Amino acid sequence: MSKKIFSGVQPTGNLHIGNYLGAIKNFVSFQNQALTECIYCVVDLHAITVKQDPATLKNNIRETTAAFLASGLDYKKSIIFQQSLSSAHSECSWILGCSAKMGWLNRMTQFKEKAGKDKEKASIGLYVYPVLMASDILLYDTTHVPVGEDQKQHLELTRDIAQKFNLDFNSPNFFKIPEPMIQKNFSRIMSLKDGKKKMSKSDPSDFSRINLNDSKDQISNKIKKAKTDTLPLPDSEKELENRPEAKNLLGIYSSLKGQELSATINEFSGKNFSDFKIKLSDLAVEKINPISAEMNKLKKDTKFIDKILIEGSHKAQEISSKKLKQIKKIVGF
């Protein structure tokens, strides 16, 4: 059975190792699977749900695209495009929003987290962006969506919206009901300063994350200063239950090396963190530094990046415009 995979990354700048290990690295893997069609989107419409500087946003769109390409995504194998260049996403979002229920959106935990205490000042866009996410996915007859645990709720909403639309308009099977592809191990890379907090580009401390454009010295220094505990490295996964920083660093090593956590624990069992950090630093530099170098090279060629996005958007629009035309006909437009 063939798969059609859709996923998107917000162009908010400062892409880090959490974005790479939690999403982009997997995108490359999916792209190389047989009978799999991949569509990857720079979701700039989602980015403007919070205030953006226009010049910075433009730069971040290009930087995110450069990160895709530098990490191994091939624009000849996958569709790579800029969301705002396809008007079908916004049109479809309005139509689906007229089927979605307020109660469904009220349950979205990410809105509560991002809006903070003063929800009255949050934008309407931030509140309804899960409907736009549903539009992104459903326009392409997506069969599978790679999601972390923190995004699973949004995909469940997408499935609810699709099923309700199909039912409301007596159009069974019109929208495909996408399945989640949940990466159970280390889809959430945590902060280097606090193993209980997700690694985030918005964290004021640059030492909380390894950025994809960090130099060798920066990567090594951040790992050296990463928070740990005083115990030696554990003999089993069970011993990591109350050791979030140890679990995070071992998880990063496992993900970079492409091996199970148990194999990493066996490799470093009983050793101290100073020895382990040297190995982790060497591995991180080996994997991340080539991406950083290629990103910096690509970012200088803005015409090439823009060309990739425009060509990809034309391919995406061929698919999305046909689906939107069908949606409008069903609705009665």
H helix runs in 1-121, sequence order: 17-19, 25-31, 44-47, 54-71, 88-97, 102-106, 109-115
Lowest mean pLDDT among 12-16, 268-272, 276-280, 303-307: 12-16
Catalytic, out of 114, 164, 216, 323: 114
Sheet bearing 79-82, strands edge to edge: 79-82, 36-42, 3-9, 144-147, 179-182
Please tell me which residue, 58 or 14, carries the higher pLDDT value.
58
Q: What is the mean pLDDT of the chain?
A: 93
Q: What average pLDDT score do residues 193-220 get?
A: 93
Q: What average pLDDT score do residues 88-117 get?
A: 87
Name all contacts of 190-195 with Cβ < 8 Å and 24+ positions apart. Answer: 190/244, 190/245, 190/248, 191/248, 192/222, 192/223, 192/225, 192/226, 192/227, 192/248, 193/226, 193/227, 194/227, 194/244, 194/245, 195/227, 195/243, 195/244, 195/245, 195/246, 195/247, 195/248
Q: Is 198 a catalytic residue?
A: yes
Parse the chain into domains and list their residue ranges: 3-188+302-331, 206-297
pLDDT at 147: 86
| Structure tokens, 84 | 């705002």
Same fold yes or no, 3-188+302-331 and 206-297:
no
Q: What average pLDDT score do residues 222-226 get?
A: 96
Q: What average pLDDT score do residues 233-254 get?
A: 93
Fold (CATH) for 3-188+302-331? Rossmann fold (3.40.50)
pLDDT, one tens digit per residue, over 261-271 is 999 999 999 99
Catalytic, out of 164, 176, 197, 201: 201
Q: How confident is the model at residue 63 (pLDDT cuts 50, 70, 90)?
A: very high
Q: Is 112 a catalytic residue?
A: no
pLDDT at 114 over 80: no
pLDDT at 221: 96
Burial class (CB in 10 A: 0-12, 13-18, 19+), 55: exposed
Superfamily of domain 206-297: Tyrosyl-Transfer RNA Synthetase (1.10.240.10)
Catalytic, out of 3, 176, 197, 198: 198
